[in-house]
Structure 1
Amino acid sequence: MKRTLAFGGLVATAGLLASGLAAPAQASGDVASDALATNGIAAYATLAYWYNNEAANLIGATPYNVETKVVAKHISKGGPAPDSKPGIVPAIGDEKKAAAKSKNVNLPKTTGKVFFDGADGKPHWCSATSVQSAYKNLVATAGHCVYDTESNATTLDNWVFIPGYYQSKTPWGIYVGKQAFTHYDFDVYEDGDRNYAFVTVYNGLKFNHDGVIPYTEANPGRWKPVSYETYMKFPAEFRGSEFVCHVGKVYYVWEFEDAGALGANVGGQGLAYNQKVGSKPVFVFGYPSGSHPDGNYAYSGKTLKWSYGKTFAVQAPAIKGEELVGVKSSFTGEGALGSSWLVGYNNSRRLGYLNGVTIGVSDTDSNNRYDTSFSPYFDGELYGVYSAAKNLWSGSIAVPFESPAIPHATSSSAPPA
């Protein structure tokens, strides 16, 4: 369930984009952390959920649209103010390189979709991006795309990130979420000003559905023997499935191929916080889907899209968003939730600094077309949440079970025939 205790308040920030690393803001301690897949078997079951039945859940997932379309007000004066010095964290592979301006737009490899079960029990997706971290294993997205604000539970189930996802294709693997981090004010109060989340993920797993073959002694493929106890740890719906089976009293699971760390495969964006609103333009990258209020079906959600513009102060009281930032964008709400806002984006390296995540869209001129996307302002409070997540190890889950030397049941209880 949701926590009943919260600390700290809300102070927004401003400042100029630093040319190098600035003195980091102090972690505030206002961090909420919740487990996703806590061990290898849980992670494996999550993966099987998405790939079972010829990846039916992946293919059938729909864009998440929780509290995305709201009324937002453009604020001409005031808005976010600094809570500490401006700072940046360089992107993966960009630690010793100076930022450069770009004229053309090469789409980043870091962006993809996060998939999960919504409060309605159905599969959904949002946009997200890989970001810099010590073990190259961190994903940033909207808080709504990780924490269940509909049923007041904790985190959304079966959470995975797939960079470059397209029609069930996973070009760089699928990454199961391990641990989620957000601000207490979002976890407890659903504060729109703190609607962001960072998630550590396990090493990616590669999967070619045509590669799963029924087990035979002559052609075992990638089936690995496990004990009866391990077999019984899997959810009942996966026992006897495409990935977890038994032949008589001998039990097997399918071994996926380890794809390595997320950041090693697609890179990771840097992070910028306490930046002056409107001083630098941002690129917004995401997978918008659905129609405008006038019925115009603008985006399919199948391919990565971008918009570009300078930020400005926004308020959206309906979602407790008093100190937000906006950017002019025609992105529709469905699918755009979690889109990454990158400042200082470099075209050749496809890297920049994450400085926002889309939490909603609005029609500010009442012409039945969405014209503004908005994000929490990235300040020292956000840096504190990021700091709590950035140095945590995840590791591999390609073989999340023991592999006995002699493949037979080891339980003293009688296993099924």
Structure 2
Amino acid sequence: MKRTLAFGGLVATAGLLASGLAAPAQASGDVASDPLATTGITAEAVGSYWFGNHMANLIGATPYNVETKVVAKHVSKGGPAADSKPGVVPAIGDEKKTTAKSKNVNLPKTMGKVFFEGADGKPHWCTGTSVQSAYKNLVATAGHCVYDTESNATTMKNWVFIPGYYQSKTPWGLYVGKQAFTHYDFDVYEDADRNYAFVTVYNGIKTPHDGIGDKTDAKGNIIPDWYSVGDYKEVSELEATQYAKAGYYNVYVAEDKDHKKHYYTWKFEDAGALGANVGGQGLAYNQKIGKPVFVFGYPSGSHPDGNYAYSGKTLKWSYGKTFAATAPSVKGDELVGVKSSFTGEGALGSSWLVNYSNGRRLGYLNGVTIGVSDTDGNNRIDTSVSPYFDGELYGVYSAAKNLWSGSIA
């Protein structure tokens, strides 16, 4: 099915500096869609996977790093071309405003980490961002950060988005993925030109009770300290069984003085819609090559020469003009590149924003990192690459942007 890209060599052609953004074009393209967590119990189980055991999976997650090396002789010149008129979708809160320029780089609140359980059964993360949608519930990232390219399964397990995540802190909540959308050619043919995904997410949930203060009865049953904490809910035995089968980490049973069993699970607190909390970037497609972009992400790991460049703990940025490139051996005929020292681990899914306004921390999403490259052979990463955002991408976005998710709390 899908493959990620980390280019060992890249031949690129320079693009021309583009003019201003233009009016929207019509949607086009074939869309593939897959469910992530479609029921309340399943979605709550996903939340408990990350919040359970004192956030052990969140804290222990490692950057996702699936690579396919491409040697220079297998890379040819060329580049993408627009398939219709250029278009934009304004950012949340930016619908009636014009962009402004500033010399200072203020990091956007929309960025965060996408967490999921990989094919190896271990927790991993990529970079993602909140984007404009009707219900303020949409996340954009690389396709291989949603669809399992290792085991050829459908989607990653336990998929969530956490904006602003830092050392087990979830400042705006955790957002469980509901439905994933990508291009049919990526889902079926491993087409790198369509390696992007949009995911609808439920309202966020806040960090629940962590078990501190709980007691154990004579039979070893956990007695939740819900009287002082107030974040447990009582459920039926059947519901408790359903939660347990869904993989819920925290299903408790306790007996009252009459030896009647009571079943409890976490009671998550609703954190509200993603876009209402952190905003959402706009979207630009069919833009001319050569536009300057900011790349925001969480790069982690070393350069090929062993130099440890990034920790992956904090959001970083780079800046440059896009240029065209192709890589036919990995089915990448319509890629764009930008000079960037971001290493591949963690940076996968990084957002490329054109016309970024530092004052409002908003711009137009115009790319997502799907691979990195050392183009001059000095064993230092110097380039990031993305699919070209065209009308095909807008078709995938359009399939996802008007779907409601709701709350799981």
Fold match by TM threshold 0.5:
yes
Counterpart selection for 1:226 from 223, 227, 235: 235
Aligned partners of 2:31 and 2:405: how far apart in 1? 19
Equivalent AA in structure 1 for residue 385 of structure 2: F
Equivalent position of 2:251 in the other structure: 244
Aligned partners of 1:69 and 1:375: how far apart in 2? 16
How far is the alpha carbon of 1:235 from its aligned partner?
2.9
Equivalent position of 2:127 in the other structure: 127
Query: Is 1:84 paired with 2:84?
Result: yes
Query: Is 1:157 paired with 2:157?
Result: yes
Distance 1:271 1:160, change over 3 A: same
How far is the alpha carbon of 1:216 from its aligned partner?
5.1
Partners of 1:73 and 1:316 within 8 A in 2: no
Cα deviation code 1:65-91 (max 9, x no counterpart) = 112664579999742112100000000
Equivalent position of 2:404 in the other structure: 393
Partners of 1:231 and 1:244 within 8 A in 2: yes
Equivalent position of 1:337 in the other structure: 348
How far is the alpha carbon of 1:229 from its aligned partner?
1.2
How far is the alpha carbon of 1:23 from its aligned partner?
3.4
Distance 1:74 1:356, change over 3 A: farther
Q: Where in structure 2 are the equivalents of 1:11-410 lying within 5 Å?
A: 18-19=20-21, 22-28=23-29, 30-67=30-67, 70-71=70-71, 78-207=78-207, 213-214=213-214, 215=224, 219=228, 221-236=230-245, 241=249, 243-248=250-255, 249-278=261-290, 280-398=291-409
Equivalent AA in structure 2 for residue 375 of structure 1: S
Cα deviation code 1:225-263 (max 9, x no counterpart) = 111111110135856x5x321213211111111100000
Partners of 2:40 and 2:408 within 8 A in 1: yes
How far is the alpha carbon of 1:318 from its aligned partner?
3.7
Partners of 1:288 and 1:333 within 8 A in 2: yes
Equivalent position of 2:220 in the other structure: none
Equivalent position of 2:218 in the other structure: none
Aligned partners of 2:178 and 2:390: how far apart in 1? 25
Q: Give the total of aligned pairs.
A: 383
Of all paired residues, the percent bearing the same amino acid is: 78
Q: Which secondary structure state, in structure 2, belongs to the residue aligned with residue 187 of structure 1? A: helix
Cα deviation code 1:9-38 (max 9, x no counterpart) = xxxx99956546x1322233x000000001
Partners of 1:130 and 1:139 within 8 A in 2: yes
Cα deviation code 1:172-211 (max 9, x no counterpart) = 0000000000000000011100000000000001115557
Partners of 2:321 and 2:338 within 8 A in 1: yes
Cα deviation code 1:299-345 (max 9, x no counterpart) = 00001000000000112234211110000000001000000000000
Equivalent AA in structure 2 for residue 260 of structure 1: G
Partners of 2:78 and 2:326 within 8 A in 1: no
Distance 1:272 1:73, change over 3 A: farther
TM-score normalized by structure 1?
Answer: 0.87
Partners of 1:68 and 1:360 within 8 A in 2: no
Distance 1:217 1:191, change over 3 A: closer
Equivalent AA in structure 2 for residue 31 of structure 1: V
Q: Which secondary structure state, in structure 1, belongs to the residue aligned with residue 238 of structure 2? A: helix
Q: Which secondary structure state, in structure 2, belongs to the residue aligned with residue 126 of structure 1? A: strand
Equivalent AA in structure 2 for residue 141 of structure 1: T
Partners of 1:342 and 1:353 within 8 A in 2: yes
Partners of 2:32 and 2:184 within 8 A in 1: yes
Aligned partners of 2:38 and 2:197: how far apart in 1? 18
Equivalent position of 1:402 in the other structure: none
TM-score normalized by structure 2?
Answer: 0.89
Q: Structure 1 unaligned runs (5+)?
A: 3-12, 399-417
Q: Structure 2 unaligned runs (5+)?
A: 3-14, 215-223, 256-260
Worse-superposed segment, 325-334 or 229-238: 229-238
Aligned partners of 1:262 and 1:333: how far apart in 2? 26
